[in-house]
Structure 1
Amino acid sequence: MSRRMFGRRQVVALGAAAALGLTLAACNPDNPSADGDGTDETSAAEGGGDKGTITLGYIPSWTDGLSTAYLLEAKLEEAGYTVEHQELTEAGVLYTALAQGDVDIYPSAWPEVTHASYMEEYGDQIEDLATYYDNAKLTFAVPEYSEITSIAELPDHVDELGGRIVGIEPGAGLTEVTQESVIPTYGLDEAGFTLATSSTQAMLAELESAVSAEEEIVVTLWRPFWANATYPVRDLEDPEGALGEAEGLHFLATDGFAEEFPEVAEWIGGIHLDDEQYGALESSVVNDNPDDPAAGVAAWLEQHDDVVGSVEG
Structure 2
Amino acid sequence: MRKNRLISIAALGAAASLALAGCATDGAGGTSALTGGGTTDATGDKGTITLGYLPSWTDGLSTAYLMQDQLEKLGYDVEMKTLTEAGPLYAGLAQGDVDLYPSAWPELTHAEYIEKYGDSIEDLGTYYDNAKLTIAVPEYSDIDSIEDLAGRGGDFDGKIIGIEPGAGLTAQAGEMISAYGLDGEYTLVTSSTAAMLTELKAATEKQEDIVVTLWRPFWANDAFPIKDLEDPKGAMGEAEGLHFLGATGFAEEFPEAAELIEKIKLDDEQYGALEDLVVNEFGEGKEADAVDAWLDEYGDQFEWVVSD
TM over 0.5: yes
2:226 partner amino acid: V
Which of 141, 144, 148 matches 2:139? 144
User: Partner residue of 1:63?
Assistant: 58
Pairs within 5 Å for 1:124-163: 124-163=119-158
Q: Secondary structure at the match of 2:116?
A: helix
1:28 partner amino acid: T
> Contact (CA 8 Å) 2:160, 2:189: kept in 1 or not?
yes
Give the whole-Å Cα distance in 2 for the aligned partners of 1:236 and 1:63.
Answer: 22
Pairs within 5 Å for 1:1-313: 14-17=26-29, 22=30, 24-31=31-38, 34=39, 40=40, 42-44=41-43, 49-179=44-174, 181-190=175-184, 192-291=185-284, 292-306=286-300, 307=302, 309-310=304-305
What do residues 13-51 of structure 1 show as CA deviations (whole Å, max 9, x unaligned)?
Answer: 62433xxxx5x13122443xx3xxxxx4x202xxxx211
Q: Secondary structure at the match of 2:140?
A: coil
Q: Secondary structure at the match of 1:165?
A: strand
Q: Alpha-carbon deviation of 1:73? A: 0.6
What do residues 115-140 of structure 1 show as CA deviations (whole Å, max 9, x unaligned)?
Answer: 00100001111111110000000000
| 1:93/1:13 CA distance change after superposition, 3 Å | farther
Give the whole-Å Cα distance in 1 for the aligned partners of 2:103 and 2:303.
Answer: 15
Report the aligned-residue RMSD. 1.6
> Contact (CA 8 Å) 2:24, 2:33: kept in 1 or not?
no
Q: Alpha-carbon deviation of 1:263? A: 1.3
Give the whole-Å Cα distance in 2 for the aligned partners of 1:250 and 1:308.
Answer: 19
What runs of 5+ residues in structure 1 fail to find an aligned partner? 1-10, 35-39
What do residues 202-227 of structure 1 show as CA deviations (whole Å, max 9, x unaligned)?
Answer: 00000000001110000000000000
2:215 partner amino acid: W
What do residues 238-262 of structure 1 show as CA deviations (whole Å, max 9, x unaligned)?
Answer: 0000000000000000100001111
Give the whole-Å Cα distance in 1 for the aligned partners of 2:214 and 2:162.
Answer: 8
1:27 partner amino acid: L
> Contact (CA 8 Å) 2:27, 2:92: kept in 1 or not?
no
Count of residue pairs brought into register by the alignment: 283
Q: Secondary structure at the match of 1:297?
A: helix
Give the whole-Å Cα distance in 2 for the aligned partners of 1:28 and 1:12.
Answer: 12
Give the whole-Å Cα distance in 2 for the aligned partners of 1:54 and 1:14.
Answer: 17
| 1:63/1:303 CA distance change after superposition, 3 Å | same
1:246 partner amino acid: A
Give the whole-Å Cα distance in 2 for the aligned partners of 1:282 and 1:224.
Answer: 9
Give the whole-Å Cα distance in 2 for the aligned partners of 1:13 and 1:189.
Answer: 36
> Contact (CA 8 Å) 2:27, 2:97: kept in 1 or not?
no
Q: Alpha-carbon deviation of 1:267? A: 1.0
> Contact (CA 8 Å) 1:13, 1:93: kept in 2 or not?
no
1:197 partner amino acid: T
> Contact (CA 8 Å) 2:28, 2:89: kept in 1 or not?
no
What is the TM-score with the length of structure 1 in the denominator? Answer: 0.87
Q: Secondary structure at the match of 1:149?
A: coil
Q: Secondary structure at the match of 2:183?
A: helix
User: Partner residue of 1:7?
Assistant: none
2:297 partner amino acid: Q
| 1:13/1:130 CA distance change after superposition, 3 Å | farther
> Contact (CA 8 Å) 1:12, 1:97: kept in 2 or not?
no
What is the TM-score with the length of structure 2 in the denominator? Answer: 0.89
